[in-house]
Structure formats: C-alpha cells, structure tokens
Amino acid sequence: MAGAVRRLCPRGPRWGHPLNRLLPYPLLSLGLFATWLLLNPPLTPATGLLAVTVGWLVPFVMRALRPEAVRVRAPGVILGLAGHVLVDVVQSNIDVAKVILGLRRGTRRTGFVSIPLDLRSPYGLAVLSIILTATPGTLWIQYESNTGRLLLHVLDLVDGDAWVRRVKDRYERPLMEVFS
C-alpha cells in the first residue's frame, strides 16, 4: 500500500516519517481545525472533537490531488513581509481613493510595466499575484513562464523603473527566501 502510494505520489509528502503518515499536511489540518471552530461557536467538547476529526481526516482527500510539497522557511521574513503588505494595502487604498475622487494633483499616467522575475516557485508566484492584485492600483496581467517576465498594469504610473525595483525589493526577495 505504501509503495503504491509512493509510486502514485512521487512528489507528495515524505511518507517515511510516521508523523507524516498520520498527518499528511499538518498546516492544512491546522487550518481546517481553526475554520471549523470559527464556524461553530461556542467551543464545547463535542465541537472540539468534531474539529479535530475534520482536521485529521479531510487532508487525506488532498493526497488525490498530489500537490507539490511546500517548504516554508524563515518565519521572521514572513512576518516582515506581512507587515509590509498590510501597510502597502492601506496606503494604496488611500492613493486610489484620491485618484477616483479627483484629489490627486498633477497629470496622472496609467500604463503597463514589464518586470523580469527571478522567482520560479509556483507557490511563491501565487502569493506574489495575490499581493499585487490585493494592492489597489496594481493588477497582474500576464506572466510568461518561459522568460519569467511579468506584465503589470499600474493605475498611477509615475516611474516604471521605480515599480520594477519596488516589486523586486519589497516582495520578490522575501518570497524567494520563504519559498526556496
């Protein structure tokens, strides 16, 4: 059985370790457990037990999808990145609101920026796309995986090179440290 599973999931979790066999995706289990508790207040022994069961059993369904194993490193970098993103989202919300309400002075230019990315991890790119799209004023248009170039639409484009530097320094570098 274990051999068959290993043949089916060549890049799946490492089955050798007994803890991995019992809990294939610990982070997913934790997330499901927390979601279940949030959806079913108040916390009683019964809901707690059900949450543990859901968190333990449902991740086994994920095996069928054979997701590529994620290796997340550097928790400090994650926290720093989350802080940056939070500040940037609030700041760009205010900036875009100013543009819409006509409070921004001077001429505004809008356009596309092409950014060469060094990040190749699919999970890293997914997180980058969420960050860039969740920040009002920037939209991820197209990513070419052959060349690693990303096309971004920017609502308030003052300086194209500044945007390239901003994406690379502020988001791409920490993401490369986290998903390496």
* Residue 121: Cβ-neighbour burial (10 angstroms; 0-12, 13-18, 19+): middle
Please, what is the minimum distance in Å from the beta carbon of residue 168 to other proteins? 15
**CB 152 → other proteins: shortest distance, Å?**
9
- Shortest gap between Cβ of 5 and other proteins (angstroms)? 29
Name the minimum Å distance from CB 91 to other proteins.
10
Nearer to other proteins, 29 or 138 (CB): 138
Cα torsion for 161, 167, 173, 176, to the nearest 10°? -130
Structure tokens at 108: 């505004």
74 or 139, CB closer to other proteins? 139
Pick the closer one to other proteins by CB: 142 or 180.
142
Per the document, the length of the chain is 180
- For other proteins, the binding residues (CB under 8 A) are 35, 38-39, 41-42, 89-90, 93, 96-97, 99-102, 110, 112, 114, 129-130, 133-144, 147, 149-151, 153, 155
Rounded to an integer, what distance in angstroms lies between the CA atom of residue 53 and that of residue 46? Answer: 11
Closest approach of Cβ 3 to other proteins, in Å? 36
Residue 14 or 149 having the CB closest to other proteins: 149
Contacts 24+ apart (CB under 8 A), 153-157: 153/110, 153/111, 153/112, 153/113, 154/110, 154/111, 154/112, 154/113, 155/96, 155/99, 155/108, 155/110, 156/95, 156/96, 156/99, 156/104, 156/108, 156/109, 156/110, 157/109, 157/110, 157/111, 157/113
Query: Is 9 or 155 the residue whose CB approaches other proteins more closely?
Result: 155
Q: Indicate the residue among 157 and 178 with the shorter CB distance to other proteins.
A: 157
Nearest distance, CB of residue 133 and other proteins, angstroms: 4
Structure tokens, 49: 């037990």
